[in-house]
């Protein structure tokens, strides 16, 4: 490649990020690919890294892990996720973490624990740059099918897959009424999947009337409850025949959202939290204990990718309506301020387009 330096969003120390000029990444291993980033999205996890909440993220570090690329250069052994050779010029959706597929963790199905890989923008340089190095391409490069756009698929690897993981943990069945606490991008993806893929009825719980209105307008919830204005217990009783919810998907991962989730779950219900926690919180143990309820959590394991890709292709599910804001890479710092700010309820997702 002729270009030697590029623009990249670099995390320098807690609270400090800047758009810098850095070296263009190069192939280091035979399974590496260099991709030109076509679209990427700012994630709450990126904002957590910026604030220094994730100690495993050591600066200087290029942020970002939700992205699609055009393949520019490929190592001699680089393959895509389907085992095919990487095609230069072709577009790929890249999953948020690379993993080797060979270590004990990977063999046990715990790819999040892979000793040779890690999440982009946390354990290795990420995608909020002009170019990105993708190690172990065979584990993370999903070819974008003919006729599909990068925009249709950019939320697949993290937002949708995280929602899928939370739904899996919640043991949902068709026709059930499920609660989703928090209607950020993962919450909206959970609503979209539960309604349009799993055939459930969804009740959204958030203090943001704007987000409830958007979810209702999109038809991904049947009802909304706002702790800011509603009598939560009365509304839950009304919507669940007095039983509470059999499953609650919790997405913000803060004290009030966890308290809310534990208060609305029903007898023998499941609170399935899919947040990454910015700080320690207290679980109201007796709220769960007296209901014989279960709490489940964890980091998604990239399940459901093929099923969701098919569902996007056939139009069964869509996430494009969640891409409320977009800009060029030059304005990414503003994107962090708006998406990561507390006073922008209309911003579900900020994407950077090349």
The residue ranges that bind Zn ion (CB under 5 A) are 43, 45, 66, 99-100, 103, 106, 114, 116, 158
287: exposed, middle or buried (C-beta count within 10 Å: 0-12, 13-18, 19+)?
Answer: middle
> Nearest 5 degrees, angle CA 152-CA 154-CA 156?
95
Counting every residue, how long is the chain? 354
For Zn ion, which is the closer residue by CB, 73 or 192?
A: 192
For Zn ion, which is the closer residue by CB, 45 or 251?
A: 45
For Zn ion, which is the closer residue by CB, 44 or 195?
A: 44
Peptide bond into 41 cis (omega under 30): no
User: Are 252 and 273 within 8 A, CB to CB?
Assistant: no
16-23 vs 33-41, strand pairing mode = unpaired
Using CA atoms, how far apart are residues 352 and 39, in angstroms rounded to an integer? Answer: 6
DSSP-assigned beta bridge partners for residue 40: 67, 352
C-beta of 299: minimal distance to Zn ion in Å?
Answer: 11
Q: Which residues are within 8 A (CB) of 86 and not within 5 positions of it... i.e. 6 or more apart?
A: 33, 71, 74, 78, 79, 80, 92, 137, 141
201-205 vs 177-181, strand pairing mode = parallel
Query: What own/partner pairs with CB < 8 Å and gap ≥ 24 does 324-330 have?
Result: 324/348, 324/349, 324/350, 325/349, 325/350, 325/351, 326/350, 326/351, 326/352, 326/353, 327/352, 327/353, 328/352, 328/353, 328/354, 329/7, 329/9, 329/19, 329/128, 329/129, 329/130, 329/354, 330/7, 330/19
C-beta of 354: minimal distance to Zn ion in Å?
Answer: 19
C-beta of 4: minimal distance to Zn ion in Å?
Answer: 29
C-beta of 99: minimal distance to Zn ion in Å?
Answer: 5
End-to-end CA distance of the chain: 18
C-beta of 106: minimal distance to Zn ion in Å?
Answer: 3
For Zn ion, which is the closer residue by CB, 132 or 264?
A: 132
For Zn ion, which is the closer residue by CB, 68 or 288?
A: 68
Report the residue closest to Zn ion, judged by CB: 43
For Zn ion, which is the closer residue by CB, 95 or 311?
A: 95
For Zn ion, which is the closer residue by CB, 73 or 158?
A: 158
Count Cβ atoms below 10 Å from residue 113 Cβ, excluding itself: 16
331: exposed, middle or buried (C-beta count within 10 Å: 0-12, 13-18, 19+)?
Answer: middle
C-beta of 229: minimal distance to Zn ion in Å?
Answer: 30
C-beta of 320: minimal distance to Zn ion in Å?
Answer: 17
Using CA atoms, how far apart are residues 19 and 22, in angstroms rounded to an integer? Answer: 9
C-beta of 209: minimal distance to Zn ion in Å?
Answer: 25
C-beta of 331: minimal distance to Zn ion in Å?
Answer: 19
For Zn ion, which is the closer residue by CB, 99 or 198?
A: 99
For Zn ion, which is the closer residue by CB, 156 or 191?
A: 156
Using CA atoms, how far apart are residues 123 and 350, in angstroms rounded to an integer? Answer: 22
């Amino acid at each position: 490649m002729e270009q030697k330096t590029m623009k990249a969003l670099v995390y320098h120390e807690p609270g400090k990020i800047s758009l810098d000029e850095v070296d263009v990444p190069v192939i280091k291993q035979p399974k590496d690919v260099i991709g030109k980033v076509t679209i990427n999205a700012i994630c709450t996890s990126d904002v957590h890294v910026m604030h220094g909440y994730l100690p495993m993220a050591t600066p200087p570090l290029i942020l970002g892990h939700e992205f699609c690329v055009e393949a520019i250069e490929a190592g001699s052994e680089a393959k895509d996720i389907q085992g095919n050779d990487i095609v230069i010029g072709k577009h790929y959706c890249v999953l948020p973490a690379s993993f080797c597929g060979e270590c004990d963790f990977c063999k046990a199905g715990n790819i999040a624990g892979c000793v040779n890989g890690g999440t982009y923008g946390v354990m290795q340089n990420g995608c909020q740059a002009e170019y990105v190095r993708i190690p172990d391409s065979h584990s993370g490069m999903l070819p974008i099918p003919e006729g599909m756009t990068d925009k249709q698929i950019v939320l697949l690897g993290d937002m949708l897959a995280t929602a899928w993981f939370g739904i899996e943990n919640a043991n949902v069945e068709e026709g059930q009424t499920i609660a989703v606490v928090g209607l950020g991008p993962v919450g909206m993806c959970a609503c979209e999947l539960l309604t349009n893929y799993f055939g459930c009825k969804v009740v959204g719980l958030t203090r943001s009337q704007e987000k409830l209105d958007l979810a209702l307008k999109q038809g991904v919830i049947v009802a909304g409850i706002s702790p800011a204005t509603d009598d939560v217990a009365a509304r839950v009783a009304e919507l669940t025949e007095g039983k509470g919810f059999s499953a609650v998907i919790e997405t913000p991962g803060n004290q009030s959202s966890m308290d809310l989730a534990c208060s609305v779950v029903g007898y023998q219900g499941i609170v399935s939290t899919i947040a990454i926690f910015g700080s320690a919180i207290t679980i109201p143990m007796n709220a769960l204990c007296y209901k014989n309820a279960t709490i489940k959590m964890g980091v998604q394991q990239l399940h459901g990718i093929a099923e969701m890709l098919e569902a996007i292709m056939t139009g069964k599910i869509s996430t494009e309506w969640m891409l409320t804001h977009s800009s060029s890479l030059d304005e990414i710092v503003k994107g962090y301020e708006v998406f990561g700010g507390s006073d922008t309820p209309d911003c579900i997702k900020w994407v950077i387009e090349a």
